[in-house]
Amino acid sequence: MKNIVTVVRNELSTIFSSFAGAILVFLSLAIWRTFDNTTFIFVQICTSCFLVYIGLMIFRISGKKNIFVNRELAVVAISFIIITSFALNIDRSRSVFVLKWVNELSISSSVQIEEIAEFKNLSPLDSAAVAQRLDEQKQLGMLREVGDGYELSLLGKIFIKLASVIAKVMNLDGFVKA
């Protein structure tokens, strides 16, 4: 029993450390994106993770007690996954763009696929892709059908607010221009 408690405690500590590391990577990336949003974001994420890893290793070598000891690589790897998933999806994902469009168009009533196609001047092929994304987002619980249209669910509204904040902090032009 003592062994299980120790393992669980170590795993929870690694998870906590990883989220703290993700915040470090996010802050370094946000600062970098403030001054340079022309470099590919993936390159910036990789470089930020590497720099945070080096910083954690220097901190470890200095002998100071910290929450990251012997977890540096795990912290940076998990941070990389978290930051890459959020930033790249927000900046590049058509599914996220569709949620943004529904949010912009459904202020007073639900929005139909035709309204999105007209709003973004989409081709029939792009309209079909948007219809697919609408169905996917409905299945994920981000959208709900209202009458013959769609509007954001509570989860969708929270996600779009979070995405907007992340896009603003990190200068994610793809999301802003979508």
Q: Are residues 53 and 25 in the same domain?
A: yes
Task: Check if the beta carbon of residue 100 is closer than 8 Å to that of residue 168.
Answer: no
- Same domain, yes or no, for 149 and 76? no
Whether residue 75 sits in one domain with residue 52:
yes
User: What's the pTM?
Assistant: 0.73
For residues 73 and 110, membership in a common domain is answered with: no
Q: Which domain holds residue 165?
A: 94-177
| 60 and 132 inside one domain | no
**Last residue within a domain, chosen from 77, 92, 107:** 92
Q: Are residues 6 and 88 in the same domain?
A: yes
Same domain, yes or no, for 144 and 154?
A: yes
The pLDDT of residue 154: 95
Q: How many domains does the chain have?
A: 2
CA angle 6, 11, 13 (to 5 degrees): 95
Of the residues 47, 70, 92, which one is the last residue of a structural domain?
92
Residues 81 and 160 in one domain: no
Specify whether 120 is located in the same domain as 164.
Answer: yes
pLDDT of residue 5: 83
**Cα dist from 103 to 72, 83, 107, 116, 143, whole Å:** 39, 24, 7, 11, 10
pLDDT at position 142 is: 94
Name the phi and psi angles at 151, rounded to 5.
Answer: -145, 160
Q: What is the pLDDT along the chain (178 residues), one digit of tens a residue?
A: 678 888 888 778 777 777 788 888 888 888 988 888 888 888 888 898 888 888 878 877 777 666 666 677 777 888 888 888 888 888 888 999 999 999 999 877 889 989 999 989 989 899 899 999 999 999 999 999 988 899 999 999 999 999 999 888 888 888 888 8
Q: Are residues 72 and 148 in the same domain?
A: no
Task: Give pLDDT, residue 53.
Answer: 84
Q: What is the pLDDT of residue 99?
A: 94
109 and 160 together in one domain: yes
How high is the pLDDT of residue 137?
Answer: 93
pLDDT (0 to 100) of residue 164: 92
pLDDT at position 1, please? 67
